[in-house]
Amino acid sequence: MKKRKERIDRGIKVRAQDIFALTSYREMLYLLVPGAIPVVGLLCFAPMLSNYWREVIISTAIYALLAISWDMLMCAGLLSLGQSLFFGIGSYLAGSLNHYLGLPPILTIPLATIGGGLICTLLLLPVLRLRGIYFAMVTLVLPLMLSRLVEATRILGGTEGLTGLTPFPNQLTAVFLIQIVLLVTLFGFRRIKGSDYGLVITGISDNDRSVMSAGINIQWYKAQVVFLGASVGSFAGAFGTHMDMFAGMPGFALDYSIMPVAAAVVGGVGTFFGPLIGAFILVPLSEALRALGALRIVFYGLFLVIFVVGIPEGIFPYIQRKYQQVERWVDVT
Amino acid sequence: MPIWEARGTEEEMMLEVQNLMVFFENALALNDFEMEVREGQVVGVIGSNSAGKTTLMNTLSGLIIDMRIKEKRRGGQRITVYGKIVYRGEDITETRPTERVRKGIVLCRERHPIFPESDVLQNLRMAGYLRKKAEIRETIAYVFDLFPALIPLKSRKAGFMSGGEQQMLAVGMALVARPQLLLLDEPLLGLSPMMQQILVEAITHLKARSGITVVISEQFARPVLPMIDFGYIIENGMLTLTGTGPELMDNPEVKAAYFGV
């Protein structure tokens, strides 16, 4: 007798998809617990940490935001290698608004978020027709170009950057601000992806000609997606600027482009939760490995390879599958 | 005069499929499928959509092994294959597709699997990658002999050709690899009756001239049944009828289902 491993949905998952989920506490918990984990984890644990680890949490959250914004572009089939473009533009916008006009962070951050989104969308508008590697090339080159432009023309403080910007009143405010924004982005983007709008976006990535044939202007949709992604990236930049009290060329650094991609690939592309998990593994890991000195990058790379080879689908889809499905052996006849 | 020699002798057993079962996750695509192909035969696998024809072809050519690995890595559907495939007395159930091509099993996949950005000659040469240059030249001449319609299109980009021309090219590409066992997956899909006739004639001609063995999977029974030596009719992954071509044509059930009489 031959046996086969069968995968089936858990009964509770099937029941919980229905309206009857509201009749039982167990099923309501089944639905709510996964969503509650990041909320509770982020909002409750961060205040308990030491100053140093709060600092790490903040930079992790910045990378997580960039990774989520990368994932949003990826949903529309736009492979971006230039999250640092969004980060840098947001950072310079907030920095110059604060430095030249003297606006407080409570104004500069929203302005930089929206303005950065618009500027990045305008910059990328001509290349929205490109797909895959061509779009990636342009996004990779733009931030490098802009940083050289700042260096050559000495605008916006040149190589020194803008210093002495207004900081946040205290560290806890900063931690809560970025965590709340992170959660809103995470659940907001997940909601967007689950709606009809998200269906169109996924359709563009799967087969753009079919979407065009349905009478949908895909350039307009792509522009909207870039705006969403760029706004989130610009927020991260604006926040980082006020955190460091400095806006400068490091905002266009390659780190901000590569790390989000690594985080999203480790966590699972297209889920938004995945990039968050990826960032919260990779960034603290890179901090913890600091003690190793020069070997840090070696171990870091090794971990990346292990994750990608071991769980190529990503951590989040793997956990999701285990949560929703059971496996059992059945006879084959 | 055959262009390349089929290695076996007539009427010898070439391919044996025993108790083949293929699962895509929990869906059963092929259920307890049995099949025998003798040297030099043209065997037809007839069935409507979702009968499991393409799955059978992928399993015979070994592509399913690659699909299984990819899906497993992605955490997608789990593909399970049970049963045994014996090719010339050798168990090839777990042999990789590249190895199977070396052994002479060549699949022409459905929906014109060509390289759209390359021209016709490049396509043909690419398909003969495993062969010697002189052999390739010889077979390409043979392909143009078989499909004269391709001659004026030699330097045309394959993606810009019509569906029928692309299908001819696809069959030609499979031939350049000099198969012992040629698997054709829905070669008539999306072609007009006239185009279908041209392809069917080419396959008949091919059989007479080179003596290779052909397995055709098809949903159009009318053009295919007259040319086959033996036919298998499958429905929902199950074998429902077997018989020689004329037997199947006279069968009332086949008539009702596939000829609409």
Report helix, strand or coil for B97. helix
- Best of A3, A4, A307 to disrupt the B interface (most B CBs within 10 Å) is A4
Contact B80 A4 (CB under 8 A): yes
Question: Which pLDDT band, with edges at 50, 70 and 90, does A225 fall under?
Answer: very high
Question: Chain A interface residues facing chain B, Cβ-Cβ under 8 Å?
Answer: 2, 4-8, 311-313, 317-318, 321, 332
Between CA A89 and CA A85 the distance in angstroms is 6
Residue with structure tokens 């399993």?
B59
Tokens of B11: 């009427």
Helix, coil or strand: residue A201: helix
Question: Residues B138-145: what's their mean pLDDT?
Answer: 88
Of A7, A8, A312, the CB nearest to B74: A312
Contact by Cβ (8 Å): A16, A31: yes
Sort out which chain B residues have CB atoms less than 8 A from A318's CB and list them: 75
Identity of the residue in B21, B74, B80 whose CB atom sits nearest the CB atom of A313? B74
Average pLDDT over residues A82-104: 91
Q: What pLDDT sits at residue B8?
A: 63
Inter-chain contact A312–B75, Cβ cutoff 8 Å?
Answer: yes
pTM for this entry: 0.84
Helix residue ranges per DSSP H, B147-191: 163-176
Structure confidence at residue A330 as a pLDDT band (50, 70, 90): confident
DSSP E strand stretches across chain A: 2-9, 162-163, 246-247, 325-332
Indicate the residue type of B25: E
Cα distances from A5 to residues A327, B78, B175, in angstroms, run 6, 9, 39
Give the pLDDT score at B1: 41
- Residue A329's closest chain B neighbor by CA? B26
Angle formed by the axes of helices A171-194 and A51-75, nearest 10°: 20
- Looking at the partner chain, which of A2, A7, A321 has a beta carbon nearest the beta carbon of B26? A7
Chain A interface mutation, best of B74, B77, B79, highest count of A Cβ atoms under 10 Å: B74
* Confidence grade of residue A257 (pLDDT, cut at 50, 70, 90): confident
Nearest to A6 among B21, B26, B76 (CB): B26
Residue B7's pLDDT is what?
A: 63
- CA–CA min distance A273, chain B (Å): 17
Pick from B22, B44, B36, B30: nearest CA to B238: B30
What are the extents of the domains in chain A? Answer: 50-258
Q: Is A7 in contact with B23 (Cβ distance < 8 A)?
A: no
- Measured between beta carbons, the chain A residues lying within 8 angstroms of B25 are 7
% of chain A with per-residue pLDDT over 90: 38
Mark residue A154 as left, alpha or beta (left: phi above 0; alpha: psi -120 to 50; beta: remaining): left
The values of phi and psi at residue B219, to 5°, are -100, -15
Q: How many CB atoms lie within 10 A of CB B127?
A: 25
* Span B37-94, pLDDT tens digits: 888 888 999 888 888 888 999 999 999 999 988 888 777 788 888 888 998 888 888 8
Please give the full DSSP string across A270-316, using - where no structure is assigned.
TSSHHHHHHHHHHHHHHHHGGGGGGGHHHHHHHHHHHHHHH-TT-HH
Report the distance separating Cα A318 and Cα A268, nearest Å. 9
C-alpha pair distances (Å), B101 with each of B41, B106, B239: 19, 5, 27
Distance of CA B58 to the CA centre of its chain: 9
Nearest CB partner across the interface for B75, out of A8, A317, A332: A317
CA distance A306 to chain B (A): 13
Q: How many CB atoms lie within 10 A of CB B54?
A: 19
ipTM value: 0.71
